[in-house]
Protein backbone atom coordinates (compact mmCIF):
# COMPACT_ATOMS: atom_id res chain seq x y z
CA UNK A 1 0.00 0.00 0.00
CA UNK A 2 2.80 2.38 0.91
CA UNK A 3 4.32 1.57 -2.43
CA UNK A 4 1.04 2.40 -4.14
CA UNK A 5 0.89 5.72 -2.38
CA UNK A 6 4.44 6.61 -3.34
CA UNK A 7 3.75 5.72 -6.95
CA UNK A 8 0.62 7.84 -6.91
CA UNK A 9 2.54 10.72 -5.36
CA UNK A 10 5.08 10.52 -8.12
CA UNK A 11 2.37 10.45 -10.76
CA UNK A 12 0.43 13.37 -9.37
CA UNK A 13 3.34 15.65 -8.42
CA UNK A 14 4.06 16.97 -11.88
CA UNK A 15 4.40 20.59 -12.88
CA UNK A 16 1.48 20.16 -15.24
CA UNK A 17 -0.89 18.95 -12.52
CA UNK A 18 0.31 21.67 -10.20
CA UNK A 19 -0.40 24.34 -12.81
CA UNK A 20 -3.84 22.90 -13.51
CA UNK A 21 -4.69 22.97 -9.81
CA UNK A 22 -3.35 26.49 -9.30
CA UNK A 23 -5.37 27.67 -12.28
CA UNK A 24 -8.45 25.88 -10.94
CA UNK A 25 -8.18 27.17 -7.38
CA UNK A 26 -7.29 30.71 -8.29
CA UNK A 27 -9.84 30.90 -11.08
CA UNK A 28 -12.39 29.54 -8.64
CA UNK A 29 -11.55 32.11 -5.95
CA UNK A 30 -11.88 34.98 -8.41
CA UNK A 31 -15.10 33.68 -9.94
CA UNK A 32 -16.51 33.10 -6.46
CA UNK A 33 -15.52 36.59 -5.39
CA UNK A 34 -17.25 38.30 -8.30
CA UNK A 35 -20.92 38.81 -7.48
CA UNK A 36 -23.15 37.12 -10.01
CA UNK A 37 -20.69 34.44 -11.06
CA UNK A 38 -21.10 31.09 -9.35
CA UNK A 39 -19.10 27.95 -8.70
CA UNK A 40 -21.56 25.86 -10.69
CA UNK A 41 -20.95 28.12 -13.65
CA UNK A 42 -17.17 27.70 -13.29
CA UNK A 43 -17.35 23.91 -13.07
CA UNK A 44 -19.79 23.59 -15.97
CA UNK A 45 -17.66 25.80 -18.19
CA UNK A 46 -14.54 23.80 -17.42
CA UNK A 47 -16.22 20.47 -18.25
CA UNK A 48 -15.50 20.50 -22.02
CA UNK A 49 -11.76 20.93 -21.31
CA UNK A 50 -11.77 17.65 -19.42
CA UNK A 51 -12.64 15.81 -22.64
CA UNK A 52 -9.01 16.27 -23.66
CA UNK A 53 -7.34 15.78 -20.29
CA UNK A 54 -6.28 12.76 -18.28
CA UNK A 55 -8.84 11.59 -15.73
CA UNK A 56 -7.09 12.64 -12.52
CA UNK A 57 -6.05 16.16 -13.55
CA UNK A 58 -9.50 16.85 -14.94
CA UNK A 59 -11.22 15.87 -11.70
CA UNK A 60 -8.63 17.78 -9.68
CA UNK A 61 -9.30 20.87 -11.77
CA UNK A 62 -13.05 20.63 -11.16
CA UNK A 63 -12.55 20.05 -7.42
CA UNK A 64 -10.14 23.00 -7.28
CA UNK A 65 -12.69 25.27 -8.97
CA UNK A 66 -15.37 24.14 -6.55
CA UNK A 67 -13.26 24.75 -3.44
CA UNK A 68 -11.89 28.02 -4.75
CA UNK A 69 -15.29 29.45 -5.58
CA UNK A 70 -16.73 28.38 -2.24
CA UNK A 71 -13.98 30.29 -0.44
CA UNK A 72 -14.11 33.21 -2.92
CA UNK A 73 -17.71 33.93 -1.98
CA UNK A 74 -16.49 35.21 1.38
CA UNK A 75 -14.26 37.91 -0.12
CA UNK A 76 -17.11 39.92 -1.61
CA UNK A 77 -19.33 39.03 1.36
CA UNK A 78 -16.87 40.81 3.65
CA UNK A 79 -15.79 43.68 1.42
CA UNK A 80 -19.06 44.71 -0.22
CA UNK A 81 -21.74 42.86 1.78
CA UNK A 82 -22.59 40.77 -1.27
CA UNK A 83 -22.00 37.05 -0.84
CA UNK A 84 -20.43 35.83 -4.08
CA UNK A 85 -22.05 32.45 -3.46
CA UNK A 86 -25.10 31.59 -1.35
CA UNK A 87 -22.95 29.62 1.08
CA UNK A 88 -21.25 32.87 2.18
CA UNK A 89 -24.52 34.59 3.17
CA UNK A 90 -23.82 34.17 6.89
CA UNK A 91 -20.24 35.33 6.41
CA UNK A 92 -21.56 38.71 5.29
CA UNK A 93 -23.49 39.09 8.56
CA UNK A 94 -20.28 39.44 10.57
CA UNK A 95 -17.78 40.13 7.82
CA UNK A 96 -19.25 43.40 6.59
CA UNK A 97 -19.63 44.95 10.06
CA UNK A 98 -15.97 44.08 10.67
CA UNK A 99 -15.01 45.73 7.39
CA UNK A 100 -16.92 48.85 8.45
CA UNK A 101 -14.97 48.87 11.69
CA UNK A 102 -11.81 48.91 9.60
CA UNK A 103 -11.00 45.27 10.25
CA UNK A 104 -11.56 43.89 6.76
CA UNK A 105 -8.11 42.32 6.71
CA UNK A 106 -8.77 40.47 9.92
CA UNK A 107 -12.09 39.21 8.62
CA UNK A 108 -10.61 38.09 5.31
CA UNK A 109 -7.79 36.29 7.05
CA UNK A 110 -10.15 34.57 9.44
CA UNK A 111 -12.32 33.47 6.52
CA UNK A 112 -9.28 32.07 4.78
CA UNK A 113 -7.87 30.23 7.81
CA UNK A 114 -11.21 28.65 8.63
CA UNK A 115 -11.84 27.77 4.98
CA UNK A 116 -8.48 26.08 4.67
CA UNK A 117 -8.90 24.24 7.98
CA UNK A 118 -12.37 23.12 6.97
CA UNK A 119 -11.08 22.08 3.60
CA UNK A 120 -8.22 20.08 5.07
CA UNK A 121 -10.45 18.27 7.56
CA UNK A 122 -12.87 17.58 4.75
CA UNK A 123 -10.14 16.02 2.64
CA UNK A 124 -8.97 13.85 5.52
CA UNK A 125 -12.53 12.66 6.11
CA UNK A 126 -12.87 11.83 2.46
CA UNK A 127 -9.71 9.76 2.60
CA UNK A 128 -10.26 7.96 5.89
CA UNK A 129 -13.98 8.04 6.61
CA UNK A 130 -15.55 7.80 3.16
CA UNK A 131 -17.04 4.34 3.64
CA UNK A 132 -18.73 4.82 7.06
CA UNK A 133 -19.93 8.31 6.16
CA UNK A 134 -21.41 7.04 2.92
CA UNK A 135 -23.30 4.33 4.77
CA UNK A 136 -24.59 6.90 7.23
CA UNK A 137 -25.60 9.16 4.35
CA UNK A 138 -27.63 6.40 2.71
CA UNK A 139 -29.67 5.99 5.88
CA UNK A 140 -30.85 9.57 5.55
CA UNK A 141 -34.21 9.07 3.88
CA UNK A 142 -37.01 11.59 3.43
CA UNK A 143 -38.11 11.66 7.13
CA UNK A 144 -34.53 12.14 8.42
CA UNK A 145 -33.85 14.70 5.74
CA UNK A 146 -37.00 16.60 6.67
CA UNK A 147 -36.06 16.77 10.37
CA UNK A 148 -32.46 17.72 9.61
CA UNK A 149 -33.46 20.61 7.35
CA UNK A 150 -36.17 21.74 9.73
CA UNK A 151 -33.49 21.96 12.40
CA UNK A 152 -31.21 23.88 10.02
CA UNK A 153 -34.07 26.34 9.57
CA UNK A 154 -33.87 27.25 13.27
CA UNK A 155 -30.74 29.22 12.30
CA UNK A 156 -33.27 31.85 11.24
CA UNK A 157 -33.69 32.75 14.91
CA UNK A 158 -30.00 33.57 15.07
CA UNK A 159 -29.84 35.77 11.99
CA UNK A 160 -32.97 37.80 12.68
CA UNK A 161 -31.17 40.74 14.26
CA UNK A 162 -33.20 42.77 16.73
CA UNK A 163 -36.61 41.30 16.10
CA UNK A 164 -37.31 37.58 15.99
CA UNK A 165 -40.82 38.32 14.73
CA UNK A 166 -39.56 40.16 11.66
CA UNK A 167 -36.97 37.43 11.07
CA UNK A 168 -39.77 34.87 11.00
CA UNK A 169 -41.77 37.04 8.61
CA UNK A 170 -38.75 37.24 6.35
CA UNK A 171 -38.32 33.46 6.50
CA UNK A 172 -42.00 32.93 5.67
CA UNK A 173 -41.57 35.13 2.61
CA UNK A 174 -38.55 33.10 1.54
CA UNK A 175 -40.36 29.79 2.04
CA UNK A 176 -43.29 31.05 0.03
CA UNK A 177 -41.22 32.40 -2.85
CA UNK A 178 -39.34 29.11 -3.08
CA UNK A 179 -42.59 27.27 -3.88
CA UNK A 180 -43.01 29.11 -7.19
CA UNK A 181 -42.50 26.96 -10.27
CA UNK A 182 -42.75 23.25 -10.90
CA UNK A 183 -43.19 21.12 -7.80
CA UNK A 184 -41.84 17.58 -7.43
CA UNK A 185 -45.04 15.99 -8.71
CA UNK A 186 -44.86 18.16 -11.82
CA UNK A 187 -47.61 20.72 -11.25
CA UNK A 188 -46.96 24.42 -11.68
CA UNK A 189 -47.40 26.79 -8.75
CA UNK A 190 -47.64 30.56 -9.05
CA UNK A 191 -46.88 30.29 -12.77
CA UNK A 192 -48.12 33.78 -13.66
CA UNK A 193 -46.07 33.70 -16.83
CA UNK A 194 -44.49 30.85 -18.74
CA UNK A 195 -41.10 31.86 -17.37
CA UNK A 196 -42.39 31.31 -13.86
CA UNK A 197 -43.05 27.65 -14.65
CA UNK A 198 -39.38 26.99 -14.07
CA UNK A 199 -39.38 28.81 -10.74
CA UNK A 200 -36.76 31.24 -9.45
CA UNK A 201 -33.06 30.37 -9.35
CA UNK A 202 -30.96 30.98 -6.26
CA UNK A 203 -28.36 33.26 -7.88
CA UNK A 204 -30.62 36.15 -8.99
CA UNK A 205 -32.57 36.03 -5.73
CA UNK A 206 -29.38 36.01 -3.64
CA UNK A 207 -27.65 38.80 -5.55
CA UNK A 208 -30.82 40.84 -5.90
CA UNK A 209 -31.51 40.66 -2.21
CA UNK A 210 -27.99 41.42 -0.99
CA UNK A 211 -26.16 43.47 -3.61
CA UNK A 212 -28.75 45.71 -5.22
CA UNK A 213 -30.27 47.20 -2.04
CA UNK A 214 -26.80 48.69 -1.36
CA UNK A 215 -27.02 50.51 -4.70
CA UNK A 216 -30.58 51.70 -4.11
CA UNK A 217 -29.62 52.88 -0.62
CA UNK A 218 -26.78 54.84 -2.18
CA UNK A 219 -29.17 56.38 -4.70
CA UNK A 220 -31.89 57.24 -2.19
CA UNK A 221 -30.05 58.08 1.03
CA UNK A 222 -26.77 59.18 -0.53
CA UNK A 223 -25.13 58.68 2.82
CA UNK A 224 -21.80 56.97 2.49
CA UNK A 225 -21.53 54.24 5.10
CA UNK A 226 -18.87 54.69 7.75
CA UNK A 227 -16.51 52.80 5.59
CA UNK A 228 -13.02 52.30 6.78
CA UNK A 229 -12.35 49.27 4.64
CA UNK A 230 -9.50 51.20 3.03
CA UNK A 231 -7.41 50.32 6.03
CA UNK A 232 -7.02 46.72 4.96
CA UNK A 233 -3.39 46.90 6.00
CA UNK A 234 -1.93 43.71 7.31
CA UNK A 235 -4.34 43.06 10.10
CA UNK A 236 -3.34 39.61 11.10
CA UNK A 237 -5.55 37.30 13.05
CA UNK A 238 -3.69 36.84 16.30
CA UNK A 239 -3.04 33.42 17.71
CA UNK A 240 -5.37 34.17 20.60
CA UNK A 241 -8.17 35.20 18.26
CA UNK A 242 -7.76 32.06 16.20
CA UNK A 243 -7.74 29.84 19.28
CA UNK A 244 -10.86 31.57 20.58
CA UNK A 245 -12.69 30.54 17.42
CA UNK A 246 -11.00 27.19 17.15
CA UNK A 247 -13.88 25.27 18.65
CA UNK A 248 -16.28 26.82 16.16
CA UNK A 249 -13.93 26.00 13.31
CA UNK A 250 -13.70 22.36 14.35
CA UNK A 251 -17.43 22.13 14.90
CA UNK A 252 -18.10 23.92 11.61
CA UNK A 253 -15.78 21.59 9.74
CA UNK A 254 -17.48 18.52 11.21
CA UNK A 255 -20.92 19.88 10.38
CA UNK A 256 -19.64 20.60 6.88
CA UNK A 257 -18.27 17.09 6.46
CA UNK A 258 -21.45 15.36 7.64
CA UNK A 259 -23.81 17.62 5.71
CA UNK A 260 -21.60 17.41 2.64
CA UNK A 261 -21.63 13.63 2.77
CA UNK A 262 -25.43 13.51 2.64
CA UNK A 263 -26.45 13.78 -1.01
CA UNK A 264 -28.40 16.91 -1.84
CA UNK A 265 -27.53 19.16 1.10
CA UNK A 266 -24.40 20.99 0.05
CA UNK A 267 -22.27 23.87 1.40
CA UNK A 268 -25.00 26.52 1.83
CA UNK A 269 -27.16 24.55 4.23
CA UNK A 270 -24.02 23.40 6.07
CA UNK A 271 -22.86 27.00 6.55
CA UNK A 272 -26.26 28.16 7.84
CA UNK A 273 -26.44 25.17 10.18
CA UNK A 274 -22.97 25.80 11.57
CA UNK A 275 -23.53 29.53 12.03
CA UNK A 276 -26.72 28.92 13.98
CA UNK A 277 -25.05 26.24 16.05
CA UNK A 278 -22.00 28.38 16.87
CA UNK A 279 -24.18 31.30 17.87
CA UNK A 280 -26.13 29.18 20.30
CA UNK A 281 -23.19 27.47 21.92
CA UNK A 282 -20.47 30.13 21.83
CA UNK A 283 -19.67 32.46 24.71
CA UNK A 284 -19.59 35.24 22.12
CA UNK A 285 -23.02 34.34 20.78
CA UNK A 286 -24.43 37.74 21.64
CA UNK A 287 -21.99 39.52 19.36
CA UNK A 288 -22.90 37.46 16.31
CA UNK A 289 -24.16 39.70 13.54
CA UNK A 290 -22.31 42.71 14.91
CA UNK A 291 -18.85 41.79 13.66
CA UNK A 292 -17.78 38.65 15.48
CA UNK A 293 -14.79 36.80 14.00
CA UNK A 294 -16.15 33.54 15.35
CA UNK A 295 -19.25 33.92 13.15
CA UNK A 296 -17.07 34.09 10.06
CA UNK A 297 -15.12 31.09 11.29
CA UNK A 298 -18.28 29.03 11.81
CA UNK A 299 -19.74 29.84 8.42
CA UNK A 300 -16.58 29.51 6.34
CA UNK A 301 -15.24 26.34 7.95
CA UNK A 302 -18.56 24.64 7.28
CA UNK A 303 -18.99 25.61 3.65
CA UNK A 304 -15.49 24.55 2.69
CA UNK A 305 -15.79 21.56 4.98
CA UNK A 306 -18.72 20.44 2.85
CA UNK A 307 -16.84 20.77 -0.45
CA UNK A 308 -14.49 17.84 -0.15
CA UNK A 309 -17.16 15.79 1.59
CA UNK A 310 -19.58 16.09 -1.34
CA UNK A 311 -17.08 13.79 -3.07
CA UNK A 312 -17.86 11.06 -0.51
CA UNK A 313 -21.20 9.91 -1.93
CA UNK A 314 -19.78 10.39 -5.41
CA UNK A 315 -16.71 8.21 -4.91
CA UNK A 316 -18.06 5.70 -2.40
CA UNK A 317 -21.53 5.21 -3.85
CA UNK A 318 -21.37 6.66 -7.34
CA UNK A 319 -24.17 9.12 -6.67
CA UNK A 320 -23.75 12.87 -7.13
CA UNK A 321 -25.10 14.95 -4.25
CA UNK A 322 -25.51 18.27 -6.06
CA UNK A 323 -25.16 19.95 -9.42
CA UNK A 324 -21.39 20.31 -9.11
CA UNK A 325 -20.70 16.69 -8.24
CA UNK A 326 -23.19 15.84 -10.98
CA UNK A 327 -20.92 17.58 -13.44
CA UNK A 328 -17.96 15.73 -11.91
CA UNK A 329 -19.77 12.42 -12.37
CA UNK A 330 -20.13 13.38 -16.02
CA UNK A 331 -16.40 14.07 -16.20
CA UNK A 332 -15.62 10.68 -14.67
CA UNK A 333 -17.91 8.91 -17.14
CA UNK A 334 -16.43 10.75 -20.09
CA UNK A 335 -13.04 9.51 -18.94
CA UNK A 336 -14.35 5.95 -18.85
CA UNK A 337 -14.19 5.76 -15.05
CA UNK A 338 -17.27 4.77 -13.11
CA UNK A 339 -17.33 6.20 -9.60
CA UNK A 340 -18.62 3.84 -6.96
CA UNK A 341 -17.29 1.04 -4.77
CA UNK A 342 -15.80 -0.70 -7.79
CA UNK A 343 -13.52 2.24 -8.48
CA UNK A 344 -11.60 1.49 -5.28
CA UNK A 345 -10.83 -1.98 -6.66
CA UNK A 346 -10.23 -1.24 -10.31
CA UNK A 347 -8.61 2.19 -10.16
CA UNK A 348 -6.97 2.48 -6.76
CA UNK A 349 -3.99 4.20 -8.36
CA UNK A 350 -6.20 7.01 -9.66
CA UNK A 351 -7.98 7.21 -6.30
CA UNK A 352 -4.68 7.72 -4.46
CA UNK A 353 -3.63 10.31 -7.01
CA UNK A 354 -6.91 12.12 -6.50
CA UNK A 355 -6.55 12.08 -2.70
CA UNK A 356 -2.98 13.36 -2.78
CA UNK A 357 -3.97 16.05 -5.25
CA UNK A 358 -6.81 17.18 -3.01
CA UNK A 359 -4.48 17.47 -0.02
CA UNK A 360 -2.17 19.61 -2.15
CA UNK A 361 -5.04 21.80 -3.12
CA UNK A 362 -5.69 22.80 0.50
CA UNK A 363 -2.25 24.37 0.55
CA UNK A 364 -2.85 26.01 -2.80
CA UNK A 365 -6.14 27.41 -1.53
CA UNK A 366 -4.21 29.19 1.19
CA UNK A 367 -1.83 30.79 -1.30
CA UNK A 368 -4.53 31.73 -3.78
CA UNK A 369 -6.60 33.22 -0.97
CA UNK A 370 -3.75 35.39 0.26
CA UNK A 371 -3.04 36.69 -3.24
CA UNK A 372 -6.67 37.37 -4.11
CA UNK A 373 -7.20 39.16 -0.82
CA UNK A 374 -4.53 41.68 -1.83
CA UNK A 375 -6.03 42.11 -5.31
CA UNK A 376 -9.50 42.68 -4.02
CA UNK A 377 -8.45 44.93 -1.17
CA UNK A 378 -8.26 47.79 -3.67
CA UNK A 379 -12.03 47.49 -3.96
CA UNK A 380 -12.15 49.34 -0.68
CA UNK A 381 -10.59 52.43 -2.23
CA UNK A 382 -13.40 52.82 -4.76
CA UNK A 383 -16.00 55.36 -3.63
CA UNK A 384 -19.42 53.82 -2.97
CA UNK A 385 -20.99 56.05 -5.62
CA UNK A 386 -18.96 54.22 -8.28
CA UNK A 387 -18.63 50.83 -6.61
CA UNK A 388 -22.33 50.02 -6.24
CA UNK A 389 -23.17 50.71 -9.91
CA UNK A 390 -20.16 48.61 -10.92
CA UNK A 391 -21.45 45.73 -8.83
CA UNK A 392 -24.81 46.09 -10.61
CA UNK A 393 -23.03 45.94 -13.96
CA UNK A 394 -21.14 42.76 -13.02
CA UNK A 395 -24.34 41.18 -11.70
CA UNK A 396 -26.23 41.98 -14.91
CA UNK A 397 -23.68 40.17 -17.06
CA UNK A 398 -23.01 37.35 -14.62
CA UNK A 399 -26.65 36.54 -13.97
CA UNK A 400 -27.56 36.73 -17.64
CA UNK A 401 -24.81 34.36 -18.67
CA UNK A 402 -25.74 31.63 -16.16
CA UNK A 403 -28.55 30.47 -18.41
CA UNK A 404 -28.87 33.21 -21.07
CA UNK A 405 -32.05 34.34 -19.43
CA UNK A 406 -33.55 37.82 -19.39
CA UNK A 407 -36.08 36.47 -16.91
CA UNK A 408 -33.27 35.91 -14.41
CA UNK A 409 -32.11 39.51 -14.93
CA UNK A 410 -35.65 40.73 -14.34
CA UNK A 411 -35.85 38.68 -11.15
CA UNK A 412 -32.52 40.18 -10.09
CA UNK A 413 -33.77 43.76 -10.50
CA UNK A 414 -37.14 43.08 -8.87
CA UNK A 415 -35.51 41.33 -5.91
CA UNK A 416 -33.28 44.39 -5.56
CA UNK A 417 -36.36 46.58 -5.08
CA UNK A 418 -37.91 44.01 -2.72
CA UNK A 419 -34.67 43.94 -0.73
CA UNK A 420 -34.70 47.72 -0.43
CA UNK A 421 -38.31 47.65 0.72
CA UNK A 422 -37.40 45.09 3.35
CA UNK A 423 -34.52 47.30 4.48
CA UNK A 424 -36.91 50.25 4.89
CA UNK A 425 -39.24 48.13 7.00
CA UNK A 426 -36.33 46.69 9.03
CA UNK A 427 -37.06 43.17 7.83
CA UNK A 428 -33.73 41.27 7.75
CA UNK A 429 -32.68 39.68 4.44
CA UNK A 430 -30.64 36.69 5.69
CA UNK A 431 -33.64 34.66 7.00
CA UNK A 432 -35.32 35.15 3.62
CA UNK A 433 -32.38 33.63 1.77
CA UNK A 434 -31.87 30.78 4.23
CA UNK A 435 -35.55 29.86 4.03
CA UNK A 436 -35.51 30.19 0.25
CA UNK A 437 -32.71 27.62 0.01
CA UNK A 438 -33.92 25.23 2.74
CA UNK A 439 -37.64 25.51 1.95
CA UNK A 440 -37.78 23.15 -1.03
CA UNK A 441 -35.68 20.56 0.83
CA UNK A 442 -38.12 20.67 3.74
CA UNK A 443 -41.28 20.58 1.69
CA UNK A 444 -40.15 17.97 -0.85
CA UNK A 445 -39.00 15.57 1.83
CA UNK A 446 -42.14 16.05 3.87
CA UNK A 447 -44.20 15.15 0.83
CA UNK A 448 -41.95 12.19 -0.01
CA UNK A 449 -42.09 10.88 3.53
CA UNK A 450 -45.87 11.11 3.64
CA UNK A 451 -46.13 9.43 0.23
CA UNK A 452 -43.99 6.52 1.43
CA UNK A 453 -45.98 6.15 4.67
CA UNK A 454 -49.27 6.61 2.81
CA UNK A 455 -50.22 9.67 4.82
CA UNK A 456 -49.17 8.33 8.20
CA UNK A 457 -47.35 11.21 10.01
CA UNK A 458 -45.68 8.74 12.38
CA UNK A 459 -42.99 8.18 9.75
CA UNK A 460 -41.50 11.55 10.66
CA UNK A 461 -40.45 10.07 14.02
CA UNK A 462 -39.62 6.57 12.92
CA UNK A 463 -35.86 6.36 13.34
CA UNK A 464 -33.18 7.35 15.88
CA UNK A 465 -31.88 10.11 13.57
CA UNK A 466 -35.30 11.73 13.48
CA UNK A 467 -35.64 11.49 17.28
CA UNK A 468 -32.33 13.25 17.80
CA UNK A 469 -33.23 16.12 15.52
CA UNK A 470 -36.78 16.40 16.81
CA UNK A 471 -35.34 16.71 20.33
CA UNK A 472 -32.86 19.33 19.14
CA UNK A 473 -35.62 21.33 17.48
CA UNK A 474 -37.71 21.31 20.67
CA UNK A 475 -34.63 22.31 22.70
CA UNK A 476 -33.75 25.22 20.40
CA UNK A 477 -37.31 26.47 20.16
CA UNK A 478 -37.69 26.41 23.95
CA UNK A 479 -34.38 28.20 24.34
CA UNK A 480 -35.37 30.88 21.83
CA UNK A 481 -38.78 31.45 23.38
CA UNK A 482 -37.24 31.78 26.84
CA UNK A 483 -34.70 34.25 25.53
CA UNK A 484 -37.45 36.29 23.88
CA UNK A 485 -39.45 36.40 27.11
CA UNK A 486 -36.32 37.44 28.96
CA UNK A 487 -35.69 40.18 26.39
CA UNK A 488 -39.26 41.43 26.70
CA UNK A 489 -38.93 41.61 30.48
CA UNK A 490 -35.66 43.51 30.17
CA UNK A 491 -37.33 46.02 27.90
CA UNK A 492 -40.15 46.45 30.35
CA UNK A 493 -37.59 47.03 33.06
CA UNK A 494 -36.00 49.76 31.00
CA UNK A 495 -39.31 51.51 30.44
CA UNK A 496 -40.21 51.32 34.12
Partner 1 sequence: MKKLITGLTLAATMAAGAAFAADYPEKAVTLVIPYGPGGASDLAGRALSESAKPYLGQPVTVVNKPGAGGMNGARFVTESDADGYTLLLARVGMALTPAVNPQASVDWDAYTFVGALEATPMILAVKSDAPYETVKDLTDAVTESGGRMAYAASGATSIDGFTVQTLLSDAGLDPLTAATLVPYKGGGALATALLGGHVDFLAISAGSLMPHIESGDMKALMVFAPSRMDNLPDVPTASELGYEQAGQVTGWSALYAPKDLPADVVAKWQGVLEQVATDETWLTLAERRGSISTVGSIDMPAYAKAQYELFNGLAKKFGYIPE
Partner 2 sequence: MTKSLFRGILITVLFAFVAFVLIPIYVPRPAFIPGFAPPPDMWPRVISIIGMGLGLVAFCLTLLGKGEAEDPAPKSDGAPTKTLILRAFGAAAAFAGFIVILPIVGFAIGAMLLTGVCILLTGERGHVIWAVAISVLGPLALTFFFQKALGTQFPQGVLGPVIGL
Binding site for partner 1 (CB under 8 A): 16, 20, 40, 43-44, 47-49, 51-54, 57, 138-142, 181-182, 184-186, 188, 191, 194-195, 197-199, 263-264, 313, 317-321, 323-330, 333-334, 336, 338-342, 403-405, 444, 447-448, 451-452, 454
Give the list of residues 6+ apart from residue 174 with CB closer than 8 angstroms, or none.
431, 432, 433, 434, 435, 436, 439
Instruction: Please state the φ and ψ torsions of residue 428, each to the nearest 5 degrees.
Output: -70, 150
Q: Which does 483 bind (CB under 5 to 8 A by kind): partner 1, partner 2, none?
A: none
CB of 223 or CB of 240, closer to partner 2? 223
Identify what 221 binds: partner 1, partner 2, none; CB under 5 to 8 Å per kind: partner 2
Nearer to partner 2, 165 or 474 (CB): 165
Which residue's CB is nearer to partner 2, number 142 or number 321? 142
Q: Where are the alpha helices (DSSP H) in 378-463?
A: 384-403, 406-424, 430-452
- Give the binding site for partner 2 (CB under 8 A): 45, 162-163, 165-166, 168-169, 172-173, 175-176, 179, 183, 185-192, 215-223, 383-386, 388-390, 392-394, 396-397, 400-401, 404, 406, 409-410, 413-414, 416-417, 420, 423-427, 443, 446-447, 450-451, 454-455, 488, 491
Is the alpha carbon torsion for 87, 89, 94, 99 positive or negative? positive
- Smallest gap from Cβ 464 to partner 1, in A, equals 16
Closest CA to 433 of 223, 244, 248, 200: 200
- Taking the least distance from each CB to partner 2, the nearer of 397 and 475 is 397
- Binds 141: which of partner 2, partner 1, none (CB < 5-8 Å by kind): partner 1
CA dist., res. 239 & res. 368, Å (int): 22
Measured from the CB atom, the residue of 181 and 289 that comes closer to partner 1 is 181
| Interacting partner of 342 out of partner 1, partner 2, none (Cβ under 5 to 8 A depending on kind) | partner 1
* Contact status, residue 413 vs residue 36, Cβ threshold 8 Å: no
Q: Which of 60, 390, 124, 434 is nearest to 274 (CA)?
A: 434
Distance of closest approach, residue 439 Cβ to partner 1, in angstroms: 14
Q: What's the closest the beta carbon of residue 346 comes to partner 1, in angstroms?
A: 10
Instruction: In whole angstroms, give the CA distance from residue 42 to residue 33.
Output: 12
Give the CA count within 13 Å in the CB-facing half-sphere of 207.
Answer: 33
Residue placing its CB nearer to partner 2 in the complex, 233 or 421? 421
Q: Give me the least distance between CB of 179 and partner 2, in Å please.
A: 5
Instruction: Count other C-beta atoms under 10 Å from residue 479's C-beta.
Output: 13
CA 416, chain centre distance (Å): 21
361 sits in which H/E element = helix 348-377
The answer to whether 268 and 221 are in contact (CB under 8 A) is: no
Choosing among partner 2, partner 1, none, which partner's interface includes residue 284 (Cβ < 5 to 8 Å by kind)?
A: none
Residue 126 C-beta: closest distance to partner 1, Å: 18
Distance in angstroms (rounded) separating the CA atoms of residues 365 and 368:
5
Question: Residue 314 Cβ, how far from partner 1 at the closest point, in Å?
Answer: 9
- Could you tell me how many residues make up the chain? 496
DSSP 119-153: HHHHHHHHHHHHHHHHHHHHH--HHHHHHHHHHHH
**Minimum CB–partner distance for residue 324 and partner 1 (Å):** 8
Pairing of β 188-189 and β 181-182: antiparallel
**Dist CA 475 CA 235 (whole Å):** 39
Q: Helices in 190-236 by DSSP H: which ranges?
A: 202-210, 212-220
217 is in the binding site of which of partner 2, partner 1, none (Cβ under 5 to 8 A by kind)? partner 2
In the complex, least distance from residue 23 CB atom to partner 1, rounded to whole angstroms = 11
Please give the helix or strand (H or E) that residue 189 lies within, else none.
Answer: strand 188-189
Question: CB-wise, 43 or 65, nearer to partner 1?
Answer: 43
CB closer to partner 1, 199 vs 419: 199
Nearer to partner 2, 51 or 128 (CB): 51
At residue 403, the 3 state secondary structure works out as helix
From partner 2, partner 1, none, interface partner of 241 (C-beta below 5 to 8 A by class):
none
10 interacts with, out of partner 1, partner 2, none, CB within 5 to 8 A per kind: none
Question: By C-beta, is 35 or 320 nearer to partner 1?
Answer: 320
Of partner 1, partner 2, none, which one sits near residue 264, judging by CB under 5 to 8 A according to partner kind?
partner 1
Amino acid sequence: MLNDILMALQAVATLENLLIMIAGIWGGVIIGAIPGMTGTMAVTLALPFTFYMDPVPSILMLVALYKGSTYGGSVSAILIKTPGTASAACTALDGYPLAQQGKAGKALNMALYSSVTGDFISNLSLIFLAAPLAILALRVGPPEYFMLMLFALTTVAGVSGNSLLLGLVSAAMGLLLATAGEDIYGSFRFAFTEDMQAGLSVAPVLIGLFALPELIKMIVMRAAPDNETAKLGDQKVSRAEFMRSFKSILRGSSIGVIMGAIPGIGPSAAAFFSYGEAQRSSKNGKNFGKGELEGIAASESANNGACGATMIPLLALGVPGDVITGVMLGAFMIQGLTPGPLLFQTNIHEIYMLFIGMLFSSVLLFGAGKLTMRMFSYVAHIPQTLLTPTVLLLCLFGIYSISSSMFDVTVLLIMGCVGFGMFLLNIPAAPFLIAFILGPMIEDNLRRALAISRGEPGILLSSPITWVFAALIIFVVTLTVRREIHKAKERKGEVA
